[in-house]
Amino acid sequence: MKSHLPCRRCGATERGNPKTGKLTGPCLPCRRIASKTYYENNKEKCIQSAIQWRKDNPNKVKVIEKQSHLKKRYGISLDEYYFLCVEQDQRCAICNIETLLVVDHCHITNSVRRLLCRSCNQGLGHFKDNIYLMEKAIAYLEEFNDTPTE
């Protein structure tokens, strides 16, 4: 439900919370300007407040940072990451060890492949995702392998 009451600051008729449809005071552009102005006039206070909030809410900070990292780096949400974890039974897609999992992605297309343990993910990275190099490494290991395989 949109309100047609004008904003008290600029006169715009589009105002209110788009999620709830309720009036929330000035329109969004005016609220942004007011927020920016307040920050510019109270920069030190805002910085100290943010520092204190981070100290008081370390668990929330971790979640927010994880969400931000996943979205910026891989284009997935925290829920999508957790879905992959559950889908893989919290196990690495290569070695099947149950551990903390990291996102494996194609460096060319940036598409997410699966979740891997840090060792397997770094192993692929060291071989630059090059199948030919990995096959040569396998042949090398087989040539000099003194221990029986599984």
pLDDT tens, residue by residue, 56-92: 999 999 999 999 999 999 999 999 999 999 999 999 9
- Spatial CA neighbour of 2 closest among 27, 78, 14, 129: 14
Answer yes or no: is 92 within a domain. yes
Answer yes or no: is 10 within a domain. no
Query: d(Cα 113, Cα 44) in Å, to the nearest integer?
Result: 43
Answer yes or no: is 8 within a domain. no
Coil, strand, or helix at residue 15?
A: strand
To the question of pTM greater than 0.75 for the whole model, the response is no
Answer yes or no: is 148 within a domain. no
Residues 99 and 72 both lie in one domain: yes
The per-residue pLDDT string of the chain (150 residues; one tens digit each, 9 = 90 and over) reads: 444 667 778 887 766 666 666 666 788 888 899 999 999 999 999 999 999 999 999 999 999 999 999 999 999 999 999 999 999 999 999 999 999 999 999 988 889 999 999 999 999 999 998 999 999 999 999 999 877 666
Answer yes or no: is 138 within a domain. yes
Residue with tokens 């942004």, as numbered in its chain: 32
Residues 34 and 86 both lie in one domain: no
